[in-house]
A = this chain, B = another copy of it.
Amino acid sequence: MEGFRVLEIKKSVFESNDREADKLREELKKDRTFLLNLMSSPGSGKTTTLKATIAALKDEFKIGVMEADIDSDVDAATIEKTGAKVIQLHTGGMCHLDAGMTKQGLEGLDVNDVDLAILENVGNLVCPAEFDTGAVKNAMILSVPEGDDKPLKYPLMFSICDVLLINKIDVLPYFDFSIENCEKYVKRLNPNIKIIPICARTGEGIDEWADWLRTETKKWIEE
């Protein structure tokens, strides 16, 4: 085991997060690195989805993952086993990542040779939605056990994402979750969002998600 780095990230000192985020995107463009910001509630399956995503795309892109958590290294340890480059970011109690913190993470990970960088944000449907991390695209996961009414309660998160993955569709029979209702609520907030039902554990829907991510990554690093 090679081990991975654990980085204690510091509070950002920049006055305008939006300006920092735009600057970070410019740098990423120059470096030909695509950055995806992946958000969700705690326990909706971000890390399992990442494992499936890495398995689907690792032969095409050099992938690097930043695992942000208040505490613990369990996610970085899981991702390390996939062979992808990984760093654990500790937010020191902070409930989200902004562009300055993401930049620290990218430097810690060293993305010079990375085509596709993925930030697994802190599990939280509220605060991460308010801060542009500098990512090229935002994706979120809503899992079936959380309920189809979540877009009504956390509208900003659903509004700012380019893709919504509805995860854990294998347990649909055991929960009152209507994909149709969920899509209706989400599209009202965000008509252009792409919605992909998946089951990260069984691999269902991962092809469609990997296709989307492949297309967006290529567009960014090749144009």
Contacts and interface: CB of A to CB of B under 8 A. Distances in A.
A53 interface: no
B71 A153 contact: yes
B70 A126 contact: yes
B147 A71 contact: no
Interface centre among A69, A126, A156 (most CB of B within 10 A): A126
A75 B156 CA distance: 18
Interface in A81-99: 93, 95
B74 A152 contact: yes
A69 B153 CA distance: 6
Contact of A42 (B69, B70, B153): B153
Q: How many copies are assembled?
A: 2
A126 B94 CA distance: 8
A111 B81 CA distance: 54
Given A124-B124, A174-B171, A153 B41 contact: no
A124 to B, nearest CB: 5
B74 A149 contact: yes
Contacts of A156: 70, 93
B95 A153 contact: no
A123 B41 contact: yes
Interface string A99-139: 00000000000000000000000111111001000000000
A112 to B, nearest CB: 29
A70 B168 contact: no
Contact of A174 (B93, B122, B174): B174
A76 B31 CA distance: 49
Contacts of A146: 41-44, 145
Interface of A: 41-44, 69-72, 74-75, 93, 95, 122-127, 130, 143, 145-147, 149-150, 152-156, 168, 170-171, 174-175
14 contacts: A42-B125, A43-B146, A43-B147, A70-B156, A71-B152, A71-B155, A72-B153, A75-B153, A95-B95, A95-B124, A123-B126, A123-B154, A171-B174, A171-B175
